[in-house]
Chain A
Amino acid sequence: MLICKVVKPLVSTNRIPDFEHKHLQVVLDGSTQKVAVDAVGCIPGDWVICVGSSAAREAAGSKSYPSDLTIVGIIDHWDPDAGKASVKSETIAVSESAANTEIAPSSQSAAPISAAQSPALGSNGGGKI
């Protein structure tokens, strides 16, 4: 899944009927602009999680919904440049906890990724790598 920033809504009145009345948002993935179906109702300036491939279709509505990129979540706190820093500090935390299992949980490391502690990242919170 991608972390993108919502730029602005995309207005397209002349479009195929299969899109029904879902909102489309222009999102910035790094430096490339993409269009995503908005399934959660976000506003310009939000940092969001976008999903692609067949999951995008189901997240947007049904199995046959013609979307290949759908916004599935709005991140509570996300600091773009800290994103890189926290990845470094996190690897250090993980190597420490590998050496000594009872170390303090790594949640004190910088920029906690607090999108409701998504399960994929939540596991290292327990320090049992």
Chain B
Amino acid sequence: MEIMQVAGSLVCTQRVPGLAHMNLRVLRTSKGKLSVAVDPVGAAVGNWVFTASGSAARFACGNPEVHTDLTIGGIIDFWEPDG
């Protein structure tokens, strides 16, 4: 599982039914790489979060039927980017 920062939320009304009604967040790694993750915990912009990827992401978002490969696992209490 990786550590990323929430860059913003993503609005995407036209999507496959497999994504259900999950909130989407844009995440940025410490190296600047952007990705989109499903957010079951409600992370705010600027929060450092850890994410689960691959098939574990489908179990992380509560409903294994959701078609995701990256899900936010939780908000880290305290994190320094280079720490």
Contacts known (A34-B1, A35-B1, A64-B64); A15 close to B73, Cβ less than 8 A: yes
Q: B8 interface residue, CB < 8 Å from A?
A: no
A18 CA to B1 CA in the complex, in Å?
Answer: 15
A48 CA to B54 CA in the complex, in Å?
Answer: 22
A109 CA to B36 CA in the complex, in Å?
Answer: 47
Q: A13 interface residue, CB < 8 Å from B?
A: yes
Chain B: minimal CB distance from A64 (Å): 5
Instruction: Determine whether the beta carbon of A56 is less than 8 Å from that of B74.
Output: no
Closest A residue, CB atoms, query B70: A68
* Most chain A beta carbons < 10 A, residue from B55, B60, B64, B77: B60
Q: A108 interface residue, CB < 8 Å from B?
A: no
Chain B: minimal CB distance from A118 (Å): 24
Closest B residue, CB atoms, query A35: B1
Q: Main SS of chain B's interface residues?
A: mixed
Size bin of chain A's contact surface: 20 to 34
Contacts known (A15-B74, A57-B59); A67 close to B1, Cβ less than 8 A: yes
Please report which residues of chain B, range 34-59, place their CB below 8 angstroms from some CB of chain A when the two chains form the complex.
Answer: 40-41, 50, 52-57, 59
A15 CA to B60 CA in the complex, in Å?
Answer: 10
Please report which residues of chain A, range 61-86, place their CB below 8 angstroms from some CB of chain B when the two chains form the complex.
Answer: 64-69
Q: Which residues of B contact A (CB under 8 A)?
A: 1-3, 30, 40-41, 50, 52-57, 59-62, 64, 71, 73-78
